[in-house]
Amino acid sequence: MMLSRITPRAVWFVLVASFCTALVQRSGVLLGYWTQAYNPNTPFALMMAAAYVVALAFCVQIARDHKKTPAMHFAWMLFAGSSAMSIVRHVTQALVASMLIPGFGREASYIPIQLPMALALVLLFAGLLSMWSAFTAVGLGFHPRRIDILVVTLMLLILPPILIRNAERQPAFVSGWMVLLPFAGAILLPACGAIAVLLHRMAVEMRGGETARALLFLIWYPGLRLAAMLATVEPFLTAVPLVSVLTYAVYQTAPLVFTLGLAYRWRIAVKASAALEAESETWSDLYPIATSIH
């Protein structure tokens, strides 16, 4: 299967290479080492779209392994839907940045970019919530601690007003129902972060293992996006060049963190399938011996 060739090591390589490329590109522009002769959003948007294509394939395959657990199956399908919406968003951003379509600029692309982004966040939040619900329903004894409740409360009370304040600064051409689209990120990203905190506690209490590692990378994805978004709206952070460079690199590579978590989760499924196949071959070898004895 093609997905079996996309190992965590391969995703790590692409992630580190993309992160370093973003650091160098942004640092060079800020320091004046070279002029920005082209729009870097074109290659990075295509890279993010490719990461979500792989993520979509992983999610669909993993969902098939959870047919007997409806809540978890539903969670993975929601993640797949979120990835599909993100593909539409980033392909559209690449088209705008490359200026291949005359007249398809910022105004014409506003809804084709903002609407899939809002839907992707809705599906991501629903997927995280469904996954958390599935884990708690099993009754493995994972319980949030006071610090987790405190962090969740602060995230839900403090972050949305900060992000909403930035969302209110919209282009002049935005009107009607379109003004609501930027608020999706301001509300849903902190909500995703809150669920991620609860899932992080579960991953920590698993005390290692492939499942815990996969879960950690999956929940770091909304956390990194939230941190990058916050760093771009606070003036005291945007004024710091180092923060600007790191924020740019994190934003460009965050989808690969999500894909990395999926690669680790898919490796669990591949190993389990290989173990079952080996056991089946063992029993098939023993069956002729057993029948000859009888």
- What single string gives the DSSP state of each residue in 176-213? GGGGGHHHHHHHHHHHHHHHHHHHHHHHHHTTSSHHHH
Contact between 5 and 51 under an 8 Å Cβ cutoff? The reply is no
Which of 15-29, 77-91, 162-176 has the largest mean confidence? 77-91
Report yes or no on 292 lying in a domain: no
- Range picked from 28-37, 114-123, 148-157 for highest mean pLDDT: 114-123
- Categorize the per-residue pLDDT at 63 as very low, low, confident or very high, splitting at 50, 70 and 90: very high
**How far, in Å, are 1, 4, 95, 105, 163 from residue 100 at the CA level?**
35, 35, 6, 10, 32
Task: Decide which of 224 and 282 is more confident.
Answer: 224
- Residue 172 inside a domain? The answer is no
Query: Is pLDDT above 80 for 234?
Result: no
Given this model, what pLDDT does residue 283 score?
A: 44
pLDDT higher than threshold 80 for residue 240: yes
Q: What pLDDT, on the 0 to 100 scale, is given for residue 14?
A: 95
Indicate the range of 78-92, 126-140, 256-270 predicted with least confidence: 126-140
Determine, yes or no, domain membership for 283: no
Q: Is residue 160 part of a domain?
A: yes
Q: How many domains does the chain have?
A: 1
Any alpha helices (H) in the chain, and if so which ranges?
8-31, 41-64, 70-98, 110-138, 146-167, 181-205, 210-233, 235-238, 241-293
**C-alpha pair distances (Å), 69 with each of 31, 93, 168, 288:** 53, 36, 41, 36
The letter for the amino acid at 248 is Y
Mean pLDDT of 54-70: 91
* Residue bearing the bigger pLDDT, 132 or 239: 132
Mean pLDDT of the chain: 83
Q: Which of 40-44, 105-109, 154-158 has the least mean pLDDT?
A: 105-109
Q: Identify the pLDDT of residue 4.
A: 76
pLDDT band at residue 163 under the 50/70/90 scheme: confident
User: Which has more confidence, 33 or 220?
Assistant: 220
pLDDT at 221 over 50: yes
- Residue with the bigger pLDDT between 279 and 239: it is 239
**285 lies in a domain?**
no
Structure confidence at residue 89 (pLDDT): 92
Residue 134's pLDDT is: 87
Non-local (6+) Cβ contacts of 55 within 8 A are 79, 83, 255, 258, 259, 262
CB 87 within 8 A of CB 56: yes
Rounded distance, CA 150 to CA 201, Å?
13
Residue 174 forms part of a structural domain: no
Domain that holds residue 68: 2-167+179-272
Residue 156 lies in a domain: yes
pLDDT of 47 over the 90 cut: yes
Indicate whether 93 belongs to any domain.
yes
pLDDT score, position 35? 64
pTM as predicted? 0.85
Asked if 249 contacts 16 with a C-beta cutoff of 8 angstroms, the reply is no
